[in-house]
A and B are shown apart, each in its own frame.
Chain A
Amino acid sequence: MREKLLNIRKEAEKSLLEAIKQQDIERLRINFLGKKGKLTQLLRGMGNLLPEDRPVIGQMANKLRSDLERMIEEKIEAIKEKEKLERLEKEQIDVTITGRKKFIGRKHPLTRTLEDIKSFFIGMGYEVVEGPEIELDYYNFEALNTPEDHPARDVQDTFYITDKILLRTQTSPMQVRTMEKRKPPLKILAPGRVYRSDAVDATHSPVFHQVEGLVIDENITMGDLKGTLIAFARYLFGQDRGVRFRPHYFPFTEPSAELDISCIVCNGKGCRLCSYNGWLEILGCGMVHPRVLEMVGYNPEKVGGFALGMGIERIALLKYGIDDMRLFFENDLRFLRQF
């Protein structure tokens, strides 16, 4: 009996060694441990043993059974591991092949630029407002201290619809429209489309976009205008961007200025983009003219403020290095997909 047990152990160990697949092991398990398996058969003959031999042989047999079970488990694990490694080996792919991309549509660069501008001013407490593009002469010119026959009207070639109705040449009418409706304090930002009868070329377009800003409160100074716009210019064009304020003229601000930034290409050394003077104009601004305040019924002795206006195309041209205005309105996909 003892011998038989030893033989079964030897035989099982040998078979285990030879087993390669999971099925081999299954067959082996049935062969030795199954109902008709060799070990099971043998144990059925236990009854023939002498009673004093039974515990020893029983122990041996149980040990053999548990050993076999353990060895089979181990072997199964080993085979599974091996099979997994083989599968992984086979599943190797070329990771350098381009993936399946999802195309995300693009926002127009002018929209992107406006979003940048808006996010700065909204963060500074400005409220965004909108107004009509087809506008009364009154709001576009007269209320902005530019009465009929004012020479400043010449600079802005205007599209007219009737004698009194025109396509607004600037977003500045929104200054007046907002002030008429509300009382200070005001901090508004008015983006929108404007029109001038310029033929289309690389630097002109009869349709373009502006953003107007207006702050009205007690105790607003030109220093506040400067502080706000220096922060804005650096937010858009980088923290170490040079900024300067150049006196200029607008009928509806006094004093008036234009804001220049140091050239984004040459940083002030002089290049073609900046006409070799190192500076690029990005916006016009100034302290709101008392006449404009009076016309909406504000008292310029009590409240005042500043206004600013910029062309979105101009900012986008500089920001993205675009060299031709026409690209904005041609909508060539090869252009749009770059943003």
Chain B
Amino acid sequence: MLVPVKWLKDYVDYDMKTEELALAMTMSGTNVESIKTLGENIQGVVVGKIESIKPHPNADKLRVCFVDVGGENALQIITGAENVKEGDKVPTALEGSQLPIGIKIKTTKFRGLESQGMMCSAQELKLETKNLPDEQKNGILILPENAPIGEDVKKILGLDDEIIEFEITTNRPDCLSIVGIAREAAVTVGGRFKFPEIVVPEGQGNISNETRVDVEDPDLCPRYTARLIKNVRIKPSPIWMQQRLRAAGIRPINNIVDITNYVMLELGQPLHAFDFECLNDKRIIVRRAKKGEKLVTLDGIERELDESVLVIADSNKPVGIAGVMGGENSEITEKTQTVLLESANFNSTSIRRTAKKLGLRTEASSRFEKGIDPNIAEIASNRFVQLVEQLDAGDVVNGIIDIYPKPLKPWRIKMRPGRINKILGTNLTSEQMEKILNSLGLKVVEKSSEHLFVEVPTFRKDITREEDLSEEIGRIYGFDNIPPTLPKGSTTFGTQPSHMVKADKTKDILNACGISEIITFSFISPQSFDKINLPKESPLRKVIKLMNPLGEDTSVMRTTLIPNMLSVISYNLSNRQENIALFELGRVYRPKSLPLKELPDEYNLLTIGMSDDKIDFYDLKGVVETLFENLGVTPVEFNPYKHPTFHPGRTAEVLINGKRAGVLGEIHPDVNDAYDIKKRVYLCELEFDLIAEQSELSYKFEPIPRYPAVERDLAIVVNDSVLAKDIENTIIEAGGSLIKEIDLFDIYKGKQIPEGKKSMAYSLMFRANDRTLTDEEVNNIYNKIVDSLKNKFNAKLRD
């Protein structure tokens, strides 16, 4: 809400700088977003009177003007403009002055003659030129004849004002008006509030003889008032009104339309003026639109309507969409003779829905949809005719049509001062509270020792219960004056759930492994599933779709974190980043059924992606093993696995305690291509909820071994297809509890090893907790292991 300070001062007396007022208003609940000083960039431009004009001796197109600016001598100013004549008053930029178009005026010579300043056009002062006579649009701006010579033009042009921009919260539609702001300002800074004095002028005839209004749907239109103006004299509104409208962000159009807007800004009641001659049968019907009915609104767009839309109609067609925008068919034009003025109240929900449906939010609809006091409708209508009379815009017809079947009356709230103090944590007396309430127009109508009855004026529809009064009292008393304390009473324990503790720990471990965290959007493109090569029947393609996504790229809720991870890796590779090692711990959304009938399951996944010349599959696997080891997740298995996103020979399924925990491997080259990635990428995606559940973070001491260990190397040749995992399980099985460590230190294929075979060299460590093992004992176990490997895998011992 833009509020010109001079306009505001019509309704409230105060004596302080605008900045001080703004701060006080902010602290009482009407937040100030900005203060703009008009004409800030115009400096040293004054009213000058052209005394005489001579032709320029050296140039046909230039003229030499002598301009009186109140100094000792008239200034000699050269101009190329044709529209000035002797006696004209013009904005004169003096030597050293500043213009908003960014120039500074200096004395210069034009064809040999000195020019001691410049006469300015409207454009050079950055003024609106639309309402100027044509010759002034391109020439010099001519000021009113009575403008005092030497006066700063900012005063003459109304540019010596400041504009405060207020943020009005949705609960205070009454503050979407200058009067509403003035009322708040008066309470806030202790000034006097002056509601405009409204006198309805004496007119001719009577409206009831000229027209009639029928409201068919009083639920959607609680009040409708109409007045008539005859012999309308359409012309531009006076400069002062235009300046105020413009300062408040509204473009002046003509006197009638400008007055409607002026009253809306002043009182907060939107008004609409119809060209009465355009109303069939000269009557108004407020009704719901018929399905398929059409109306071209004032913005020139044809709107198709239906029964949900309330329209203002004449006997055979809609002439406006109630509370939103009028129709072109009844627009005020230069030919308008008679005006029917509507000042009505519409149901806020209905207006809100209509505006949303039509995608049409206007100054009027944004006020109606927040709720306007129906009691202001008649006052605004009266104010309109007062201004019509004042501006000589037409002849007022006596009387008002007012259809208001259920007038809204002030309501009462019981308030306990003790309760207010309990909410706020204050110690205010009942008298202090009463004083604050009264200043806000909330009348205390009855009191006892325990409570007060407060009568709420109809423009404060946001106040309906005791707590609402606590806010009013609190904010006017000043939130900053409430003493800060800490909650007393029950002790509570600060904790977080186990899976969050595990998540924090996971992030720490991965960080220690050199892996950094990423955070990406929860919605992805449906194309992502093709890019990561998922088959058509993949359950991951069962996605939750947004009804109103920002775009196709962000239209479905993710069921996997892989696409975002690959995008981030691709992005960083394209920025020539190296050592890429990233993880994301985030949610995926899996519907129980589609379309969604109940809330879906939200799971946490952990995805790790790595890409670097120096790493391979086992670096990533090592990270995952490190993570599991440090989270106390056991037992873990990695089995060969096929997954369309991954390399067919370099992918493992991860099992925790026999439960599927995810997949780990090298990304398939086709998927890499889809993401424009030129390097090998290693990636795993794990069910984090399972990891958290299986993680056992209790630590228990085991005695440090007192007896020495014995090491033996074991090198065997087996078929290529034999898995390390199976060999190791066999060693453990055969070796029993004395085997403490198995370390695969070499895998060899090639010379000396037959085709299709591999040599695997292990270092085995044996130890007993209660004695030193003898050579013989170790040899026995060793031989058992060798026999077992021979039997199972046809392994040959290698020397």
Contact B517 A336 (CB under 8 A): yes
- Chain B residues within an 8 Å CB radius of A134: 544, 557, 589, 596, 599-600, 602
> Which B residue's beta carbon lies closest to that of A250?
B169
Closest 8 CB pairs of A and B: A223-B425, A221-B425, A247-B29, A249-B169, A255-B471, A122-B494, A128-B496, A227-B484
- Whether A121 contacts B520 in the complex (CB less than 8 A), given A133-B587, A257-B479, A331-B582, comes out as no
In the complex, what distance in Å separates the CA atom of A165 from the CA atom of B581? 36
Q: Are B170 and A151 in contact (CB under 8 A)?
A: yes
Report Cα–Cα, A187/B249, bound state, in Å: 46
- Shortest CB distance A134–B (Å): 6
Q: Is A275 touching B170 in the complex (CB atoms < 8 A)?
A: no
With most chain B CB atoms within 10 A of its CB, the pick from A161, A207, A328 is: A161
Counting chain B CB atoms within 10 Å of each CB, which of A195, A222, A328 scores highest?
A: A222
Residue of A nearest to B545 (CB): A161
Instruction: Please tell me if the beta carbons of B494 and A124 are within 8 angstroms of each other in the complex.
Output: yes
Of the candidates B484, B494, B571, which one forms a contact with A127 in the assembled complex, judged by CB atoms under 8 Å apart? B494
* A218–B490 CA distance with the chains assembled, in angstroms: 9
The answer to whether B554 touches A246, judged by C-beta atoms less than 8 angstroms apart, is no
Cβ-defined contact, A337 with B516, below 8 A: yes
B550, A107: Cβ atoms under 8 Å?
A: no
Contacts A222-B474, A275-B33 given; 14 further ones with Cβ under 8 A?
A106-B517, A107-B507, A124-B494, A125-B494, A127-B494, A134-B600, A149-B348, A185-B489, A193-B587, A206-B550, A207-B522, A223-B483, A255-B474, A329-B519
- Nearest A-chain residue to B353, judged by Cβ: A149
Say which size band chain B's interface belongs to: 35 or more
What's the least CB distance linking B390 to chain A, in Å?
Answer: 35
Chain A residues, Cβ within 8 Å of B599? 132, 134-136, 165
Identify 20 residue pairs between A and B in the complex whose beta-carbon atoms are under 8 Å apart, listed by A's number: A102-B514, A104-B511, A108-B517, A111-B517, A121-B494, A125-B491, A127-B492, A127-B494, A151-B371, A206-B523, A223-B424, A223-B482, A226-B485, A227-B487, A244-B480, A249-B170, A254-B467, A255-B475, A328-B519, A332-B572
A4 to chain B, nearest CB (A): 56
Any chain B CB within 8 A of the CB of A23?
A: no
- Docked CA distance A110–B521 (Å): 13
Chain B's nearest CB lies how many Å from the CB of A211?
A: 12
Query: Is A123's beta carbon under 8 Å from chain B?
Result: yes
Q: Which of B507-531 contact A (CB under 8 A)?
A: 507, 510-523
Q: Which of A129, A151, A304 contacts B423 (CB 8 A)?
A: A304
**Binary contact readout B534-545 vs A (1 if CB under 8 angstroms, 0 otherwise):** 000000000011
The answer to whether A76 has its CB under 8 Å from any CB of chain B is no
Tell me if B796 counts as interface (CB < 8 A to partner A).
no
Complex CA gap A93/B520 in Å reads 47
Tell whether B500 is near chain A: CB-to-CB under 8 Å: yes
Question: For the complex, is B131 an interface residue (Cβ under 8 Å from A)?
Answer: no
The answer to whether B349 has its CB under 8 Å from any CB of chain A is yes
A129 to B496, CA, bound (A): 7
Q: Contacts of B581 on A, CB cut-off 8 Å?
A: 105
Closest to B489 in A: A217
Q: Which residues of A contact B495 (CB under 8 A)?
A: 122, 127-128
Best-buried of B487, B511, B512, B572 by chain A (most CB within 10 Å): B487
Q: Which residues of A contact B (CB under 8 A)?
A: 102-108, 110-111, 115, 118, 121-130, 132-136, 149-152, 154-155, 159-162, 165, 167, 185-187, 193, 195, 197, 199, 206-207, 215, 217-224, 226-228, 230-231, 244-249, 254-258, 275, 277, 287, 289-290, 304, 328-334, 336-337
The majority secondary structure among interface residues of chain A is mixed
Residues in B with CB closer than 8 Å to A124 are 494
CB distance from B428 to the nearest CB of A (A): 12
Q: Are B514 and A187 in contact (CB under 8 A)?
A: no
User: Contacts A107-B517, A108-B517, A290-B467 known; A125 to B492 CB distance under 8 Å?
Assistant: yes
Q: Give the residue name and chain of the B residue nearest to A162 (CB).
A: B596
Q: Could you tell me if B512 and A104 are in contact, using CB atoms closer than 8 angstroms?
A: yes
Chain B residues contacting A228 (CB-CB under 8 Å) are: 486-487
Chain A contacts for B580, CB-based, 8 A: 333
> Which residues from chain B contact A187 at a C-beta distance below 8 Å?
487, 492, 494
Cβ of A184 to closest chain B Cβ, rounded Å: 8
| B479 pairs with A193, CB closer than 8 A | no
Is the CB–CB distance between B492 and A246 below 8 Å?
Answer: no
Task: Contact check, B479 vs A246: say whether CB atoms are below 8 A apart.
Answer: yes
Complex CA gap A289/B467 in Å reads: 8
Would you give the 0/1 interface string for B575-591, flagging 1 where the beta carbon is closer than 8 Å to chain A?
Answer: 10101111100010100
Quick check: A160 and B548 within 8 Å, CB to CB? yes
Question: In angstroms, how far is the closest chain A Cβ from the Cβ of B464?
Answer: 10
A222 and B170 within 8 A (CB): no
A247 CA / B171 CA spacing, docked (Å): 12
**Closest beta carbon of chain A to B402's beta carbon, Å:** 27
Q: How far is the CB of B373 from chain A (nearest CB, A)?
A: 15
A127-B495, A162-B596, A255-B475 known; A222 vs B517 contact (CB < 8 Å) = no
* Cα–Cα distance between A165 and B485 once the two chains are bound (Å): 40
- With the chains together, A245 CA to B424 CA distance in Å? 13
**Inter-chain contacts of A197 with B (CB < 8 A):** 548, 550
- Which one of B172, B484, B519 lies within 8 Å of A108 (CB-CB)? B519
Given A104-B511, A125-B494, A161-B596, do A332 and B571 touch, yes or no (CB 8 Å)? yes
Give the contacts of B459-477 with A (CB-CB under 8 A): 465, 467-468, 470-471, 474-475
| Cα distance A321–B422 in the bound complex, in angstroms | 40
Q: Which residue from chain A places its CB closest to the CB of B468 in the assembled complex?
A: A254
Residue B504, interface by CB 8 Å: yes
**Contact (Cβ within 8 A) B577 A333:** yes
B493 within 8 A of A: yes
List the B side residues contacting A245 at CB < 8 Å: 479-480, 482
Q: Is the CB of B519 within 8 A of A167?
A: no
Residues of A within 8 A of B424 (CB): 221-223, 255
Q: By the criterion CB–CB under 8 Å, are A127 and B521 in contact?
A: no
Q: Which of B475, B486, B579, B595 contacts A227 (CB 8 A)?
A: B486
Chain B residues with CB under 8 Å of A255's CB are 423-424, 467, 470-471, 474-475, 479
B492 / chain A contacts, CB cutoff of 8 Å: 125-127, 185-187
Which residues of the partner chain A approach B518 to less than 8 Å between Cβ atoms?
A: 108, 331, 336
A129-B497 Cα distance, complex, nearest whole Å: 7
Nearest neighbor of A126 in chain B, beta-carbon distance: B494
- Identify the closest chain B residue to A259 (Cβ): B479
Q: Select which of A275, A287, A290 is within 8 A of B465 by beta carbon.
A: A290
A125 lies within 8 A of B545 (CB): no
CA distance A332 to B570 in the complex (A): 10
A161 x B546 contact (CB < 8 A): yes
- Asked whether A221 lies within 8 Å of B485 as measured between CB atoms, the reply is yes
In the complex, what residues of B have CB within 8 A of residue A275's CB? 33-34
Is the Cβ of A159 less than 8 Å from the Cβ of B548?
yes
* CB neighbours of B587 from chain A (8 A): 133, 193
Closest-CB distance, B550 to chain A (whole angstroms): 6
Nearest-CB distance from A198 to chain B (Å)? 8
Q: How far is the CB of B436 from chain A (nearest CB, A)?
A: 13
Question: Are A287 and B423 touching (Cβ within 8 A)?
Answer: yes
In the complex, A104→B581 CA distance in Å? 11
| Contact yes or no, A133 B475, CB < 8 A | no
> Does the CB pair A254–B471 fall under 8 Å?
yes
Q: In the complex, A103 Cα to B514 Cα: how many Å?
A: 5
Q: How far is the CA of A255 from the CA of B476 in the complex (A)?
A: 12
Q: Is the CB of B496 within 8 A of A219?
A: no
Q: Kindly state the separation between the CA atoms of A179 and B91 in the bound complex, as whole angstroms.
A: 68
